[in-house]
Amino acid sequence: MTTQPLRDRYDLAVIGAGPAGLAAAATAARLGLSTVLLDEQPSPGGQIYRGIAEAAAATRAALGADYRHGQTLVDGLASSKADYVAGATVFDISPASRIAFLSGGHARAVSAQRIIVATGGQERPFPIEGWTLPGVMTAGAAQILLKQADLVPSGRVVLAGTGPLLWLLAAQILRAGGTIDAILETTERRNWRVALRHLPRFLASAYAAKGLALLAEVRRKVRVVSGVSHLRAVGGVGLEGVAYRIGGATETVIPADTLLLHQGVVPSLHLPDALGCSIMWNSLQRAFQPEVDDWGATSLDHIAVAGDGSGIGGAQSAARRGRIAALDAAFRLGLIDQPSRDHAAQRDLKALARDLKARRFLDVLYDPPEQFRVPTGDTIVCRCEEVSARRIEAVIAQGVLGPNQIKFFMRCGMGPCQGRLCGLTVTEMFAAGRGVSPAEVGHYRLRTPIKPVTIAEMASLPFGAHADKAVVRL
C-alpha cells in the first residue's frame, strides 16, 4: 500500500474503506489493476471495523472476535500495491469518471476507468418525539465512541429499538464495564410468524450460535422490556427520560441520561443515485438500493457497487462482494478472462448466496414497526431544517406530487445532511398516506455535490486548460 503521490489516472477507484472496499482494493491491486482507495475516515475499517488499526487491547477485547477480523482486511490492503487516501471526502464524480474529493481542506481529482462504490450503509432513521434532544443518539454512534475513543456511556443508559446491532452494542457496553438500565425492544411479536419460515436456514448458519449467545449474555444482566409500541424521549435542553408504552397500557417514564436508538441499517444511496445508477426498492429490507447483478455491476457500464451499499448483508458478505466486484473489474478491463474470473469468484459467490439467504430471518424478524417509520404530530422528520411530521402530513394531504416537491415547499431534506436522515421517512409517510408502495413513491433525487463543500473548495480543483476555455470569454 502506498499513500502518496497519487497518479492522475487509475484502472480502478474504490470509494470507501470498509470491508467491501478493503477487500476490493486489495484484490484488484493483486490482479494487476492500478488501484486507488479513497476513504473519508482517518483510518481504514469503515464503520464495522472502525479504528481497528489503532484500537487499544482492552477495546479490542470488549468489541469481540468479529471486530478483530477487520485487521486481516486492513493487512490485506497494507501488503497490496493499492494507493490509499485517508480523509478523502468524495463529493462528485463526473460522467467521464473524474472523481473530485476533499482532502486536508483542498479539492483534488483523480480519474478511473472503473469505479467500485463501497460506501456502505447508515442506520435507518428512527423518528420519535424528542429524538433531536442532546443525549439521544444512534446505537451505532455509541459503538463508534467505543471503538475509536474508548468511551462507554455512563449514568443512566437506555437502549431502544430492534435489530442485531442493538444486542451487539449492549454486550459490548457490558464488556467494557458499562451498565444499561433497560433495553426497550420494539420488535413486533407477529414478525415471528413470518420469520419462522426462514428459521431453518438461519439456524444452519454461523449467525445463529453467535446471535443466541449474545442474547443470553445481555438478558442475564439487563432488564429487557419487550413489545414496546410507543416511545418518546423526554427532556428540555437535554434528555431527562424515556417514556414508553406497551399496547394500550399506561405510559411508563424511566429517567435516562443517554438513549441509544436503533432499528436496522439501510444502504447509503447518495453516490450511486447522484451518478445516475438505477435504484430499486427492496421490500424485504424495506429500503432503496442500487440495482446490481451478481458481480455488483450497476445499470451504468463503468460503475459497480459492493458491500452493504448494494443491499444489507453484513461485514463478511461485504468483503465477499468486494472481492467479487474486483474480479469482475479485472475481467472487464481485460486483465483476466471470464473463466478465470468465474473460477476465482466461485467460493465467495456460493458463500454469499448462502449467507444472504440465512439473513432473511433477521430481515423479517427485525422489520421495524410502522409507527416508528411513519411519525405523526410534532415529531421532527427533517432534523436539519426542523420540519415536523404534522407539516409534511398536511402537504401530502394537499396533493403535493412527491418527495422532491416537499423539498421546494418546506426545505425538508435540504439541510446539510442532504436528506440522509429524513429521505426514507418522507417516502414512508407518502406511502402510508396514499396507501401505495414506497417503490411507487420513490426517493429524493440526490444530486452532486453529495457532501457540503464550499465554493472556494470547489474552485481549488485543478480544472485544466480545457475547463478554463469553457468559461473564459476570449
Partner 1 sequence: MFRRFTDRPVPDVTILVDGARITTKASDSVAAAMFAAGMSSCRSTVVEGRARGPYCMMGVCFDCLVVIDGVGSRQGCMTRVRDGMVVETQDGRRELGR
For residue 296, which phi and psi values (nearest 5 degrees)? 85, 5
Q: Nearest approach, Cβ of 234 to partner 1 (angstroms)? A: 15
Of residues 119 and 427, the one with the C-beta less far from partner 1: 119
Of residues 56 and 436, the one with the C-beta less far from partner 1: 56
Cβ within 8 Å of residue 346, ≥6 positions away: none
CA dihedral 9, 10, 12, 13 (to 10 degrees): -60
Q: Nearest approach, Cβ of 457 to partner 1 (angstroms)? A: 11
Copy the grid coordinates of residue 347: 467460493
Of residues 97 and 258, the one with the C-beta less far from partner 1: 258
Q: Nearest approach, Cβ of 47 to partner 1 (angstroms)? A: 6
Of residues 257 and 291, the one with the C-beta less far from partner 1: 257
Q: What is the Cα–Cα distance from 71 to 253, expressed in whole angstroms?
A: 42
Of residues 75 and 150, the one with the C-beta less far from partner 1: 150
Of residues 32 and 177, the one with the C-beta less far from partner 1: 177
Of residues 386 and 440, the one with the C-beta less far from partner 1: 386
Give the closest residue to 102 by CA, choosing from 418, 456, 415: 456
Of residues 109 and 133, the one with the C-beta less far from partner 1: 133
Q: Nearest approach, Cβ of 135 to partner 1 (angstroms)? A: 5
Neighbours of 456 (CB within 10 A): 10
CA distances from 269 to 282, 308, 327, 453 (A): 13, 11, 23, 18
Contact residues for partner 1, defined by CB under 8 A: 40-42, 47, 51, 54-59, 62, 89, 122-123, 132-138, 140-142, 144-145, 148-155, 176-178, 237-238, 257-258, 268, 383-386, 415-417, 420-421, 452
Give the closest residue to 32 by CA, choosing from 375, 340, 447, 277: 340
Q: What is the Cα–Cα distance from 293 to 118, expressed in whole angstroms?
A: 15
Q: Nearest approach, Cβ of 42 to partner 1 (angstroms)? A: 6
Q: Nearest approach, Cβ of 265 to partner 1 (angstroms)? A: 11
Q: What is the Cα–Cα distance from 88 to 16, expressed in whole angstroms?
A: 9
Copy the grid coordinates of residue 455: 465554493
Of residues 54 and 293, the one with the C-beta less far from partner 1: 54
* Longest pairwise C-alpha distance within the chain: 76
User: Bridge-partner residues for 12, per DSSP?
Assistant: 35, 114
Copy the grid coordinates of residue 441: 413513491
Copy the grid coordinates of residue 72: 486481516
Q: Nearest approach, Cβ of 138 to partner 1 (angstroms)? A: 5
Q: Nearest approach, Cβ of 239 to partner 1 (angstroms)? A: 8
Q: Nearest approach, Cβ of 126 to partner 1 (angstroms)? A: 10
Q: Nearest approach, Cβ of 172 to partner 1 (angstroms)? A: 10
Q: Nearest approach, Cβ of 435 to partner 1 (angstroms)? A: 30
Give the closest residue to 46 by CA, choosing from 62, 23, 26: 23
Length of the chain measured in residues: 474
Of residues 364 and 421, the one with the C-beta less far from partner 1: 421
Of residues 324 and 453, the one with the C-beta less far from partner 1: 453
Per-residue exposure over 79-99, b if at least 16 CB sit within 10 Å of its own CB, e if not: ebebbbbeebbbbbbeeebbb
β-bridge pairing 239-245 and 230-235: antiparallel
Q: How far is CA 101 from the centre of its chain?
A: 20
Of residues 176 and 224, the one with the C-beta less far from partner 1: 176
Neighbours of 154 (CB within 10 A): 11
Q: Nearest approach, Cβ of 125 to partner 1 (angstroms)? A: 10
Handedness of CA 7, 9, 15, 18 (dihedral sign): negative
Cβ within 8 Å of residue 246, ≥6 positions away: 225, 227, 228, 229
What DSSP character marks residue 163?
A: S
- Answer for the pair 90, 99: CB distance below 8 angstroms, yes or no: yes
Cβ within 8 Å of residue 248, ≥6 positions away: none
